[in-house]
Every structure is written in structure tokens, then in C-alpha cells.
Amino acid sequence: MKLANLGAVLCAALLSFAAHAQYPTRPITMIVPFPPGGIADITGRPLAVAMSKTLGQPIVIENKSGAGGAVGHAHTARQAPDGYTIMTALSSITVIPVADEVNGRQPTYRMSDFTPIALVSADPTLLLVAADSPWKTIEDLVADAKRRPGKISYSTSGVYGTTHTCLSMFTQAAGIDMLHVPYKGGGPSMLALLSGEVQVTAQSPGVSHPHLKSGRVRALVSWGTKRLPQLSDIPTLKERGFDAEFYIWAGVFAPAGIPADVADTLRKAVRAAVNDADFKRAMAGVNTPIQHLEGAEFDAFLATDGGRLANVVRRMGKTQ
């Protein structure tokens, strides 16, 4: 009996090893936890194409939006840890569990539910207003917001989502109160400014680029530590005396418990993708700088950035 059991265990182990060694043998689903048009989507789509060249299998994008990304995050966390479901997520992935705790809710997921694969990009966000806005500088906007607290509206990708967090970081640093109007992703949030539904928004350079180029919007500042090379006339918040630094970064995650060899295969595919000429061209076309980190470096990045954003969310407090 003992020999039979040992044989069964060895057989199962060999089958598992063979399955992992062959990975992937079928298409992979990449969850994008926001609607089309936002930075997660315009990064995830060319990334999926580039990764598939290394993996030898297609990667199918599935937009699963809602709750500032939380719906897609939680969905990914519940999937089998076999490498056939991965996700391109933004910095909001670290924020939402903290926001749940601040609001007295049981978090729908925790960061321990994921295996970080790699960081792909990190964009310093831009604060945008309509081209015909009366505010020509960030000082104009702040002065008006102080005169009319709660009257100037701004759109975000969702409550506690990526752009809600960065705009809250700004209002905290500036000591102002503006009216928050949440949407279901970066794309709808951008459209809200273009249509005149709101007066201010925050977006990545990638999402902002075509609208800046067309002259429909104006950027007042960025959240970076230094000016963007392609937008060198746009000052940073820190230059203007506001202690606010924020990046809309995009990274690849898999469910926790994924086999180490499968995770390594995915990391190899991301590593190749960020060096792929077509992917580089796609990111350059939307002014999105590639920033690749994996392993201990990505873990350290997540810990540092997540800690900074958690402090902002705790200061925000309960938000309906």
C-alpha cells in the first residue's frame, strides 16, 4: 500500500512537472480592471501582443471594470493559480484594500492574493483642464478653489481609484476642497472633461497625449519629481511648492500560488516584451515611459509606493 501511494504521488508530481514544463499550451486571459481607453488598457493591449511572441500562445484581453479597479482585482485573485489568468493593474491595486479598511468593510482582496510578475511603466500624472478654462496656472486653480470650496468639479477613474488618490494628494497638499465626480475608469473620466461634465481631471501622459495634441485640453502641472521631456514646459507640483508626487504605474500580476516556473516564464515574457520594438513604439506613441522592474526590486517598489498611497487614503477617510 505504501509503495502504491508513493507511486501515485510520484506520478502526480511527474504529470505536474510536465504540465508546467509545457506551459502555456492554450490561450491566456489578461484582465484589465478598467474600461477601454485608460492607461491600463492602452498599456495592456500592446503588452499582451508582445508577450504572446515569447509565450507562443495568444493573450486575450478581458476588460472587467468597476469600483476603481476593485472588481477586476478581486476577480483575478479568485482565479486558478495556473498562469492562464494574469492582470495588468495600476497603482490602485495597493490602495483599495486600505480604503476598505478605512470604511469598515472586509477587503474583497489583499495584496497577498497576488504574485507580482513585473512593473512595466510608471507615468507621472498630469492635471488637466479644458483649453478654454480660466485657469492658466495651478496657482489660479488653487486660488479659485479657496474662494469657492467644493464648487470646482473633478473626474476620476472611481472612488479610491488611481486618479482619485492622486487628486486627493493634491487637494491635501494645497489645502483646498473640490467636488469629486467618480467614473468607471480613466477613459470615461477623460471624456467627462472633454464633454464639459467636469472642470478638472488627472490622467497619465498616454491618455492625455491626443487631447493635448489636438488643443482641447491644457496641462497645468505634473505629479513627477522632474518635468517630462516631451512636456518640458509643464511644471511639477513640487516646483510650485506642493508636496505631492504620484505615478500611474502599470504592472503585471497573477493569482497567488502560481508555480515558480510558470511565474518565471511570465517574467521572461514581460522582459522580452518591454524590449520589443512594436511595444516600444506603442508606448512612445502615447508618451508612456517604460520602467521595468521584477523580483525583489518590484517588491520593494510596491512596498514604498503602497505605503505612500496608504497614508493619503487614511487622510481621505471614509468616502461614499
- Domain ranges across the chain: 28-124+248-316, 126-231
What CATH number was assigned to the domain covering residues 126-231?
Answer: 3.40.190.10
Q: What are phi and psi of 249, to 5 degrees?
A: -100, 155
Whole-model pTM?
0.80
28-124+248-316 against 126-231: fold identical: yes
Q: Which is the CATH superfamily of the domain at 28-124+248-316?
A: Bordetella uptake gene, domain 1 (3.40.190.150)
Per-residue pLDDT of the chain (320 residues), as tens digits, is 444 455 544 444 444 444 456 999 999 999 999 989 888 999 999 999 999 999 999 999 999 998 889 999 999 999 999 999 999 999 989 999 999 999 999 999 999 999 999 999 988 899 999 999 999 999 999 999 999 999 999 999 888 888 999 999 999 999 999 999 999 888 899 999 999 999 999 998 888 989 999 999 999 999 988 898 888 999 999 999 999 989 889 999 999 999 999 999 999 999 999 999 999 999 988 878 899 999 999 999 999 999 989 998 999 888 75
CA distance linking residue 147 with residue 51, whole number of Å? 51
- Measure the CA dihedral 319/75/275/209, to 10°: -40
